[in-house]
Amino acid sequence: MNRQTIETWFKKLQDDICTQIESTDQKGAFEQDLWQRPQGGGGRTRILRNGNIIEKGGVNFSAVEGPTPQKILDALQLDQADFYATGVSIVMHPRSPRVPIIHMNVRYFEMSNGVSWFGGGIDLTPHYVVDEDAHYFHQQLKTTCDQHDPSYYPQFKQWADDYFYIKHRKETRGIGGIFFDRLTETPEISLADRWAFVQDVGSLFAPTYCHLLDKNKDLPFGENEKLWQYLRRGRYVEFNLVLDKGTKFGLDTDGRTESILMSMPPQANWEYNYEVQPGSEEEKTLRLLQKGVNWI
């Protein structure tokens, strides 16, 4: 396991995910933009627009390297070092408010001082929380985590609850999932074990999301549900632009803006002081957007 094998595997993951999403969507096709980073490395941005199920989605691969940007040096308390980072990042905005938004990221980071680690996660943002789907989603994650370490799911589930929290709204972004970062090697766990885990998380994405697409794509909805979807997308924008560390990192370090902001929804709305109707589906969803819910 080295940079080259990780990079090659991530590229293959990107290919596989795009194929499975296209096959489930039955209309949308990913278009690819190749880009180079002036300071070193580059990426393959793949965007699907106007599919049957997916309105706008991105499945991005990148592998970048060079002198570490000052902001990261400061965060890591290092004077100077080169870095290398590779990963796959996904955000999918479906057309129907009955189909959840999803985000996935798997990444590998290496510093020239010899430290290296994995990070990543998958989290789900339903416009309407459906208990059965939430249970299924978290069970899938737990099963994969448990195959590696029984402490992974509880630990990374809580990490997701804490990370995907919109403080100024006192709401979680969605029903969470798993989130992990800085998984280095330890006396008990080798970097190869970490890598095997990250590969399983990556491979879990497409079958899990495609199941949710298939299950919900034909459910009916009306104007009221569309408006709610646009408002929830507004919250997604707020999280990504105000709080998401990956977005901040990308914009701060002169990343490729269009690849970073592929996570933005095609349309988002804001209504001043919008209040959900007591007893409505929207109210039920809002009540569930809190930390610490046991979905299993």
- The residues in 132-191 that bind its own copies, with binding defined as CB under 8 A, are 167-169
Minimum CB separation of residue 255 from its own copies in Å reads: 8
Q: How many whole angstroms separate alpha carbon 232 and alpha carbon 230?
A: 5
In the residue annotation, 93 being an active-site residue is answered as no
Binder among 162, 218, 271, 283 for its own copies (CB under 8 A)? 271
Does position 23 bind its own copies by CB under 8 A?
no
Q: How many CA atoms lie within 13 A of 261 on its CB side?
A: 11
Q: How many whole angstroms separate alpha carbon 12 and alpha carbon 26?
A: 21
Minimum CB separation of residue 235 from its own copies in Å reads: 11
C-beta separation of 135 from 154 below 8 A: no
User: Residue 188: in which H helix or E strand, if any?
Assistant: none
Minimum CB separation of residue 263 from its own copies in Å reads: 9
- The residues in 35-74 that bind its own copies, with binding defined as CB under 8 A, are 47, 49, 56, 58
- The residues in 225-264 that bind its own copies, with binding defined as CB under 8 A, are 230, 234, 237-238, 241-242, 251, 254, 257-258, 260-262, 264
**Cβ-based nearer residue to its own copies, 12 or 27:** 27
Q: Give the residue among 62, 61, 105 at the shortest CA–CA distance from 84.
A: 62
Binder among 146, 147, 207, 270 for its own copies (CB under 8 A)? 270
**Catalytic option among 103, 127, 148, 168:** 103
Q: How many whole angstroms separate alpha carbon 36 and alpha carbon 241?
A: 24
Alpha-helical segments (H) within 69-177: 70-76, 131-146, 152-163
Phi-psi category of 108—alpha, beta or left, where left has phi over 0 and alpha has psi -120 to 50? Answer: beta
Residues labelled catalytic? 103
Name the site residues for its own copies (rule: CB under 8 A): 33, 47, 49, 56, 58, 167-169, 230, 234, 237-238, 241-242, 251, 254, 257-258, 260-262, 264-273
